[in-house]
């Protein structure tokens, strides 16, 4: 059975060229970039080159890039770092209800530690209204953090408008762009952000490495990790050299292929969306119809439960994910879909298909062959369907 | 006990090949428990003769564990006397399935409650 992987928003396979690029750094190129001898100097040059490539990918200066242990660390660093460094100025943070847990739970942590957080609601498509952000600003506001695009539904936020509001009011603006990197154009100058989080494993890079962009002139963030002088004293610890090299290669490849891939993925995704809507009754798109990542399709199948669909697909070799409560350890349904005002019973029936560079038309045809009879079978078992 | 989030082979067997799915048109007792808002609803149909469960069928909206426990409870109660099935708890169902992930134990409670609800309906109908 050919396996079909449609969970690329969770993680992506490592690109073979990325792996090639990384291998020497697990072997002969083992030096510590902080060492002054030739073993170290050689690696320092490579890390600097990698920093340039990652910076170029988002239109930043290399000195504005801090390598981290991934997207969650970048979010933690940006939010806690700003909160701590600016606590004498104010203690209010603005975010949205549909952020990734790396942002939401960091904000909740700060709430327990003397900060106030405003969670901006979203509309039925998962879009934050910039006017709501403007309305939430108080004299005490020190940070606005709104994600660039959502991992569950793919909705892209009006990020430039929000950044402009923050800029006009002199408030630091952070965006979690983990899902957007390599999928849609991302330029820090164009957006006008102070801080931006990115991660390697969402664009066919390795896990455990990411970066936080910090605009020049932003008040120095307090580091999360204290220690040596690595990363311009912003993030201590010997660099994940192989990871950083892999990240930079993944950026280089993604920037080469992005335009072509975008068109290809949109057409595959739309084919899937249209055909599922045609073949299966009582189906609903979750997320914005157009302002959406090319990779993401989230749909609800009414009268059935998402985990049951997911496992049935898994038995057929197809990997997707669901916003159903039953699939999460917490037994809470997707906070994103709930915030969009979708009734809980419909949230439970949601599936996310997320495409990546390895997906083909054949993969889409395979789901279209498998999913309709699965939904029919599960509905036949559902007491809600008969009523 | 299965690891967090992982289903035992027994659970997967009942999920893939659920026993006794469907409805009994002239059921003597019907119990519906759970809530679609919470993500699981189980409807259990019983055919009872001489204080014995002669047939049991179910329909379930829910996750893998909810479907497997529904299937298993019908197996456990079929052919048994009412007095006997009153002894069956959610623990019995979970154990018969080779354990459930911790966060899915509530699904077995649903099965136990469905039996209670169907029996209550049976007694009410009988008067």
Confidence of residue B2 (pLDDT cuts 50, 70, 90): very low
Confidence of residue A174 (pLDDT cuts 50, 70, 90): very high
CB contact under 8 A, A386 and B40: no
CB of A387 within 8 Å of a chain B CB? The answer is no
Percent of chain A with pLDDT over 90: 96
- Give me the residue spans of the domains in chain B: 9-126
Q: Token pair of A107, please?
A: 């904000």
CB of B10 within 8 Å of a chain A CB? The answer is no
Determine the pLDDT at residue A28. Answer: 97
Question: Could you say which residues from 136 to 165 on chain A have a Cβ atom under 8 Å away from some Cβ of chain B?
Answer: none
CB of B9 within 8 Å of a chain A CB? The answer is no
Evaluate if residue A44 carries a pLDDT over 90.
yes
Q: What is the pLDDT of residues A313-362, one digit of tens each?
A: 999 999 999 988 766 666 689 999 999 999 999 999 999 999 999 999 99
Residues in Cβ contact with A259 at an 8 Å cutoff, skipping those fewer than 6 apart? none
Q: What is the pLDDT of residues A138-167, one digit of tens each?
A: 999 999 999 999 999 999 999 999 999 999
* Region A54-83 average pLDDT: 98
Instruction: Report the Cα A211 to chain-centroid distance in Å.
Output: 12
Q: What is the pLDDT of residues B73-123, one digit of tens each?
A: 999 999 999 999 999 999 999 999 999 998 888 888 999 999 999 999 999
**Backbone torsions φ then ψ of A300, nearest 5 degrees:** -105, 135
SS3 content of chain A, % helix, strand, coil (to 5): 45, 15, 40
CB crowding A127-158: b at 16 or more within 10 Å, else e: bbebebbbebbeeebbbbbbbbbbbbbbbbbe
**CA distance linking residue B120 with residue A299, whole number of Å:** 39
B41 → closest Cβ in A324, A344, A384: A384
CA dihedral A149, A151, A154, A157 (to 10 degrees): -20
Q: Token pair of A332, please?
A: 């809470």
Provide the CB-side half-sphere exposure for A16 (13 A, CA). Answer: 1
Nearest CA in chain A to B34: A383
Nearest CA in chain B to A384: B61
**Is-contact A84 A142, C-beta < 8 A?**
no
Q: Token pair of A338, please?
A: 């709930």
Residues in Cβ contact with A372 at an 8 Å cutoff, skipping those fewer than 6 apart? A276, A279, A280
In whole numbers, what is the pLDDT of chain A averaged over residues? 96
Determine the pLDDT at residue A48. Answer: 98
* Region A294-303 average pLDDT: 97
Place of tokens 């949109």: A266
Determine the pLDDT at residue B6. Answer: 84
CATH number attached to the domain at B9-126? 3.90.1010.10
Which domains, ranges and CATH numbers included, belong to chain A? 4-11+258-386 (3.90.1150.10), 16-253 (3.40.640.10)
Determine the pLDDT at residue B3. Answer: 46
CB crowding A185-222: b at 16 or more within 10 Å, else e: ebebeebbbbbbbbbbbbbbbbbbbbbbbbbeebeebe
**CA distance linking residue A72 with residue A370, whole number of Å:** 35
Determine the pLDDT at residue B25. Answer: 95
Determine the pLDDT at residue A352. Answer: 97
Q: Token pair of B90, please?
A: 């959610």
**CA distance linking residue A36 with residue A295, whole number of Å:** 44
Determine the pLDDT at residue A29. Answer: 98
pTM for the model stands at: 0.95
């Amino acid at each position: 059975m050919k396996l079909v992987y449609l969970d690329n928003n969770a993680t992506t396979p490592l690109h073979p060229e990325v792996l090639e690029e990384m291998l020497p750094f697990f072997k002969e190129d083992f030096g510590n970039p902080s060492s002054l001898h030739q073993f170290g100097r050689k690696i320092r040059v490579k890390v600097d080159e990698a920093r340039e490539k990652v910076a170029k990918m988002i239109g930043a200066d290399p000195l504005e890039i801090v390598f981290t242990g991934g997207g969650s660390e970048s979010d933690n660093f940006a939010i806690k770092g700003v909160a701590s460094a600016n606590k004498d100025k104010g203690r209010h943070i603005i975010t949205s209800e549909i952020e990734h847990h790396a942002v939401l739970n960091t904000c909740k942590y700060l709430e327990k530690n003397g900060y106030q957080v405003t969670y901006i609601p979203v509309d039925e498509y998962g879009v934050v209204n910039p006017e709501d952000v403007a309305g939430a600003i108080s004299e005490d506001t020190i940070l606005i953090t709104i994600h660039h695009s959502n991992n569950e539904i793919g909705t892209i936020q009006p990020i430039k408008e929000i950044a402009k509001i923050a800029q006009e009011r002199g408030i630091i603006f952070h965006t979690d762009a983990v899902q957007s990197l390599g999928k849609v154009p991302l330029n820090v100058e164009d957006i006008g952000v102070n801080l931006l989080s990115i991660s390697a494993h969402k664009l066919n890079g390795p896990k455990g490495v990411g970066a936080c962009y910090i605009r020049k002139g932003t008040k120095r963030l307090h580091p999360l990790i204290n220690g040596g002088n690595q990363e311009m004293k912003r993030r201590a610890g010997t660099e994940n050299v192989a990871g950083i090299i892999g990240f930079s290669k993944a950026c280089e490849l993604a920037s080469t292929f992005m335009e072509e891939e975008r068109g290809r993925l949109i057409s595959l995704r739309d084919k899937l969306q249209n055909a599922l809507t045609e073949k299966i009754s009582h189906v609903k798109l979750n997320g914005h119809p157009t302002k959406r990542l090319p990779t993401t399709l989230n749909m609800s199948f009414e009268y059935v439960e998402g985990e049951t669909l997911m496992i049935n697909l898994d038995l057929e070799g197809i990997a997707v994910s669901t916003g159903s409560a039953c699939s999460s350890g917490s037994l809470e349904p997707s906070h994103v879909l709930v915030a969009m005002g979708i009734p809980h019973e419909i949230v439970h029936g949601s599936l996310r298909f997320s495409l990546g560079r390895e997906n083909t038309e054949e993969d889409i045809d395979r789901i279209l062959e498998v999913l309709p009879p699965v939904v029919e079978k599960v509905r036949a078992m559902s007491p809600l369907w008969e009523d | 006990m299965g690891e967090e989030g992982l289903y035992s082979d027994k659970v997967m067997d009942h999920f893939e090949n659920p026993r006794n799915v469907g409805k009994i048109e002239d059921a003597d007792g019907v119990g519906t428990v759970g809530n679609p808002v919470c993500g699981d609803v189980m409807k259990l149909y019983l055919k009872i003769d001489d204080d014995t469960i002669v047939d049991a069928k179910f329909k379930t909206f829910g996750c893998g564990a909810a479907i497997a426990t529904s299937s298993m409870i019908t197996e456990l109660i079929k052919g048994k006397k009412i007095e006997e099935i009153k002894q069956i708890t959610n623990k019995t169902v979970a154990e018969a399935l080779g354990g459930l992930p911790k966060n899915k134990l509530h699904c077995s409670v649903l099965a136990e409650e469905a039996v209670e609800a169907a029996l209550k309906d049976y007694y009410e109908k009988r008067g």
